[in-house]
Amino acid sequence: MEEKRDRKIQIVVGALKLFAEKGYYRSTIPDIAGSLGMSSGNLYNYFHSKEELAQEAIRYISSYLAIRIREVNESKKSSREKIEDIVRIYFETARDEPQMIDFFLRVYLSNREVFSDGCEGMVCVNEFITEIMIFFEEGVANEELRNQDFFTAFGLFMGYLGGMVFLYGERMLPKALESYIEDISENIYRALGV
Amino acid sequence: MAEKKLLLWLSQLACNANAHSLLNHPSLEEFQKSFDWLYHPLLPSLSSLDEILDNYEEMECDILLIDGALCAGLSKKGVRMRDMLEHFAKSCSHILTVGTCATYGGIFSAGGEDRSGLHFDGEKRLDGFSDFFEKSISLPGCPVHPEIVVSVITALAQGGSLPLDSYRRPKEYYGYTVHDGCSRNEYFEYKIDRHDFGHLEGCMFYEHGCRGTYSAGSCNMILWNGVSSKTRVGEPCHGCTEADFPTRGLWRTEKHMGIPARLPLGVSKRAYLSLAGVAKAFRIDRFHRRILEDEE
Ligand code: SF4
Ligand code: SF4
């Protein structure tokens, strides 16, 4: 069981790299299998379709980010400091594992039909959303963040980061992504703070 | 037949709703045959209040029921209520604080600093009557459900033991939450936020201030007048059995960025939000139709 799980993750990681290089729609199951040095038949033992693989990929990314944000949530820091930590996590992931954020922005958010059966609503990114909700809720409870609708705050925070990472991916940013962390965190805090 | 137990109902600062509520018990007549009231403000009693005030030092009772918030300076006919309570508390075998005011201070304690429940001021434990703590049982509610009063008195008279929680509330009635048994449970489970006052559908947790998931009580298991409960008819639970009652903004759910500020009893934020996220992802048509609407 455990072994199968590990193997599935290896396939997801390999597939994400291929999607980033070739694009999701242009990558076929034989391509994915080939890039991992396995046969298509064997890959089908793990995933019955490319959609199923894509859905596992988005859960994997959601969980990857959630584990890291959870650590931030469990720290005793102020909301201002937590914002900076979350921005850092997001940007470092974009720098070190660009295929993840790329998949999230270009595939998950842009091709909802791939996810309609199995990833209804936000269920496949639930772990990530839960941690963001906890961050927001605690910020309001501690009177550091202004109380408002979840999506107005979420859109501001994640839309901003997504936009920056998109520019970074298109090589349109003149400076290294990390060099923007401080100012961006300050902007988010000023927008969401009380 | 064993000798009838003698009950005494002493009102402090009270609105009398608990006394009235008792009159709604369907077997009140039967109950009355098994007990004597030394005094009750509405039921046939062995003595009048005047007689008790004049001669209380020579009197005793088996079960003392206290209704209403205690008030330091309160006296009737020159008798300090506090002295009288202490006198009966010493000799009786059980004390019941009937209703939320007698238990934690409730609505009356909002009117002055010198008011509280018998052993609690809100959540705070008091020392004043601590000698009697072990013989006290709390029956909060605004008002308390008559079934609880009658059943607890009957159980005590028969020598039964009642497991109690830290506020000394019998777990048999207060070990549940008001949410248990609510007819709107499915709407809660599947996170259907929509609720319109006056309708059968929807859960009031998300918008309309229902405190049922974190308030102790069996309102949805032992129905009021045997028929219904607040939440079943579409009125949010205001948490009248709890130490913080009455809170403000009773018909509105306090939220932080859209997330309810108070979550079901003992459920962590992460657990609640994870489950809610999954439930919200699915649209179940049945829950979006009126129950009494014609089928297509
Ligand atoms: S209305 Fe209140 S008691 Fe009923 S299901 Fe919703 S939260 Fe629970
Ligand atoms: S439903 Fe809630 S407010 Fe109403 S009587 Fe029961 S515990 Fe009290």
* Distance between Cα A84 and ligand 1 center (Å): 38
How far does the CA of residue A37 sit from the closest CA of chain B (Å)? 36
ipTM of the complex: 0.86
CA of B293 to the centre of ligand 1 (A): 22
CA dist list (Å): A147 to A25, A191, B286: 41, 12, 33
Total Cβ atoms within 10 A of residue A126: 24
* pLDDT of amino acid B293: 82
Query: Which tens digit of pLDDT belongs to each residue from B18-73?
Result: 999 999 999 999 999 999 999 999 999 999 999 999 999 999 999 999 999 999 99
Quick check: is A135 in a domain? yes
Encoded tokens for B18: 């608990």
Q: At what angle do helices A181-192 and A79-96 cross, to 10 degrees?
A: 140
Question: Measured in angstroms, how far is the CA atom of residue A131 from the centroid of ligand 1?
Answer: 25
CA-to-CA dists, residue A95 to A101, A165, B28, angstroms: 9, 9, 75
Which residue in chain B is spatially nearest to A142 when comparing CA positions? B256
Of B11, B139, B138, B143, the C-alpha closest to B69 is B11
Q: Which residues of B touch A136 (CB under 8 A)?
A: 256-257, 259
In a domain, A179, yes or no: yes
> A100 is in which domain, residue-wise?
50-192
Question: What is the residue type of A117?
Answer: D
Q: Which residues of B touch A156 (CB under 8 A)?
A: none
Pick the CATH number of B5-171 from 3.40.50.11740, 3.40.50.700, 3.40.50.980, 2.40.320.10: 3.40.50.700
Q: Is B67 helix (H, G, I), strand (E, B) or coil?
A: strand
Lowest mean per-residue pLDDT among A27-36, A169-178, B191-200, B209-218 = B191-200
Q: For B268, name the nearest residue in chain A, comparing CA atoms only.
A: A134
Nearest C-alpha to atom 7 of ligand 1 is from which residue? B205
Per-residue tokens: A166: 């998109």
Centroid of ligand 1 to alpha carbon of B171 (angstroms):
20
Tokens 């309810």 found at = B260
Nearest to A134 among B270, B278, B280 (CB): B270
Measured from the Cβ of residue B252, the count of other Cβ atoms closer than 10 Å reads 11
Other CB atoms within 10 Å distance of the CB of residue B281: 16
Average pLDDT over residues B259-280: 94
Q: What is the pLDDT of residues B139-178, one digit of tens each?
A: 999 999 999 999 999 999 999 889 999 999 999 999 999 9
The answer to whether the beta carbons of residues B150 and B25 sit under 8 Å apart is yes
Is residue A58 a part of any domain in this protein?
yes
Rounded CA-CA distance B130/B125 in Å is: 9
Domain extents in chain B: 5-171, 176-288
What φ, ψ does residue A141 adopt, rounded to 5°? -60, -35
User: Are B259 and A147 a contacting pair at CB < 8 A?
Assistant: no
Write the residue with the smallest CA distance to atom 4 of ligand 2.
B237
Summarised one tens digit per residue, pLDDT across range B109-149 is: 988 899 999 999 999 999 999 999 999 999 999 999 999 99
The CATH class that applies to domain B176-288 reads: few secondary structures
Mutate to test the pocket of ligand 1, among B178, B203, B228, B242 (most ligand atoms within 8 A of CB): B203
pTM for the whole structure = 0.90
* Best residue of B192, B257, B269 to probe chain A, by most A CBs closer than 10 Å: B257
The total number of structural domains that make up chain A: 1
d(CA B109, CA B241): 15
Within 10 Å of residue B73's Cβ, how many Cβ atoms? 10
Q: Residue A108 is part of a domain; what is its CATH number?
A: 1.10.357.10
Tell me if B212 sits within 8 A of B179, measured CB to CB.
yes
Q: Which pLDDT score is estimated for B296?
A: 66
* Chain B residues lying within 8 Å of A147, measured CB to CB: 255-257
Asked if residue A141 belongs to a domain, the reply is yes
